[in-house]
């Protein structure tokens, strides 16, 4: 394989990680979340394979979104390794190993602009 061929190969997230991220996005779709995006960052960073990013309009929505994700995945035998932040801070991070979920309020999401910072990542799914 020559250099040109190797440059055209794009690393993709592990299928199990990708399935988990899409499952989380499906759970989020049944919440008041807005603008859900799944980004494949596996080729760009060792911290995770995928980011799931969504927004809520207020603390109550952020709590509801995070709780629904936790409840549905726990029912399926999947537990987060840890979580950081809280609804009052405007940013909750749920760590599922290869998949990290970022639940933002609108202002924090606009401030941190994760989609812009990870603009080289492949967008796996976007739900407006």
pLDDT digits 0-9 by tens, 23-43: 999 999 999 999 999 999 999
Nearest-angstrom CA–CA distance, 9 and 76: 34
Residue 5's pLDDT is 39
Could you tell me what percent of the chain has a pLDDT over 70?
A: 91
Backbone angles phi, psi at 73, to 5 degrees: -75, -35
Residue 7's pLDDT is 39
Domains of the chain: 7-127 (3.30.460.10)
Q: Is 0.95 surpassed by the pTM of this model? A: no
Residue 128's pLDDT is 84
């Amino acid at each position: 394989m020559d250099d040109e061929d190797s440059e055209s190969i794009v690393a993709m997230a592990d299928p199990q990680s990708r399935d988990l991220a899409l499952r989380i996005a499906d759970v989020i779709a049944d919440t008041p979340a807005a603008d859900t995006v799944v980004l494949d960052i596996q080729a760009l960073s060792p911290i995770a394979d995928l980011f799931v990013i969504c927004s809520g309009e207020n603390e109550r929505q952020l709590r509801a979104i995070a709780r629904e994700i936790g409840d549905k995945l726990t029912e399926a035998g999947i537990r987060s390794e840890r979580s950081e932040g809280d609804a009052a801070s405007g940013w909750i991070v749920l760590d599922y190993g290869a998949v990290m979920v970022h639940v933002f309020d609108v202002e924090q999401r606009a401030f941190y602009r994760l989609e812009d910072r990870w603009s080289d990542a492949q967008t796996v799914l976007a739900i407006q």
